[in-house]
Copies of this chain bind each other. A is one copy, B any other.
Amino acid sequence: MKNVVKLLEEYFGRKVLEDLKKCKNPSLELISRTLSNAYFDEKSGLIKLGSKKEKRSFLSLGQTKKFMQTLLVASQIKKNLEENQPAIGTRQLFYLLKHTIPGTNENTFDDQKKESDPIIEDIEVSLDVLREQLGLFAVPDGYIVGPMVAYDKKTGDILDYTKMGLGGGAIPALVEEEFYQIKEISAKFVLVVEKYQVWQLLNQEKFWDKHNCLLLTGKGQAARSTRRLLARLNREFNLPVYVFTDLDPWGFYIYSVYKQGSIKLAFFSEKAGVPRAKFLGLTTKDIEKYGIQKTNWIKLNQLDYKRIKELKNYPWFKRKEWQEELKRLEKFGYKVESDSLVTKKIEFTANVYLPDKIENQDFLP
């Protein structure tokens, strides 16, 4: 584990101090988080940040405030870590930092989203650590069940995800090693379910028990810690990951965020992506193969068509299989929700569709 306090000291403290001692304009070199510095790395299959750097210096009219803010965020984080404070939320950090500069009417910070949040990201990128390792957390969302035992290092609790009831286990905000140790896993794969309702039905049907897997839902677009937990399961335990979404561009995109990440959070994507994840469905071919009837279909609207076009242009959708699937979807002209499979039979998803797809490894890449 990295000594984060030492890193903060070196990167943000000592560097500035040296500059000052040499009567130089104090400055920091930060990796640029502009969209133009994000790219899809074919080799790793992940969206990454490039190496472009930008200078942030004190004696530069446009940068002075941001320079000060950067040091304030870094020093508050260092203080909290040194004092062994509990982890706090980004809103709470914002308030800890916000104050009027004595003798002026100027506030250090006025806006969390525009000012303190981006600097947290700057620090994560510069030190190559996640904010959770800096004692910060984001609001979680998502549930997991199945044969996994974890140990909460802060509370000493043993969490057995085969014994979490119909509600399942809450995916915590803090799933980094420092907080959350994955102790035992006998599951053979992770099934990620886009929709909560589908997940809940599968949990009631004990799908995870019958198929010896972990059953996870991020309730639509996944929260930060849901993505990180999934990445840890894949990277540390080599568990295959299959993602089950609706047949529509929104479902496809949710899959791609689990797999490659997103341009907007390129740095986090490196840490939280699961490049070997597979798309289990729904696919256009499934509709025919499983005879999903027309009453389950919903006409694609203009927004859907627009989104399909955008997806076609993302480099991580350039693989032949995806270009073809996107074309087939356009041609088909309908979307089909995973919830709708109950029309075949309530137990169809659990007893036919999923086992069949997994057995035949009938996936998109």
Name A's B-contacting residues (CB within 8 A): 80, 85-92, 95-96, 98-100, 107, 137, 139-141, 143, 150, 152, 154-155, 157-159, 163-174, 179-180, 195-197, 200-201, 204-205, 219, 294-296, 337, 339-340, 342-343, 346
Contacts and interface: CB of A to CB of B under 8 A. Distances in A.
A158 B164 CA distance: 8
A342 to B, nearest CB: 5
Contact of A88 (B80, B179, B201, B296): B201
Contact of A174 (B143, B157, B166, B172): B166
A91 B339 contact: yes
Given A99-B295, A139-B196, A295-B107, A92 B201 contact: yes
User: Which interface residue of A171, A172, A195 has the most chain B CB atoms within 10 A?
Assistant: A172
Given A166-B152, A166-B179, A346 B85 contact: yes
Contacts of A140: 167, 196
A92 B347 CA distance: 12
A312 to B, nearest CB: 28
Ordered nearest first, which 4 A-B pairs have the shortest CB separation? A167-B172, A89-B197, A152-B165, A86-B204
Contacts of A204: 86-87, 154
Given A91-B337, A343-B95, A169 B170 contact: yes
Contacts of A85: 346
Given A89-B339, A200-B89, A200-B137, A169 B167 contact: yes
Contact of A168 (B87, B170, B343): B170
Contact of A295 (B100, B169, B201): B100
Contacts of A155: 163, 165-166
A340 B97 CA distance: 10
B170 A92 contact: no
Given A85-B346, A89-B339, A339-B91, A166 B172 contact: yes
19 contacts: A85-B346, A86-B204, A88-B197, A89-B339, A92-B197, A92-B201, A95-B295, A96-B343, A96-B346, A98-B343, A99-B295, A137-B200, A141-B141, A154-B166, A155-B163, A157-B164, A167-B171, A168-B170, A168-B172
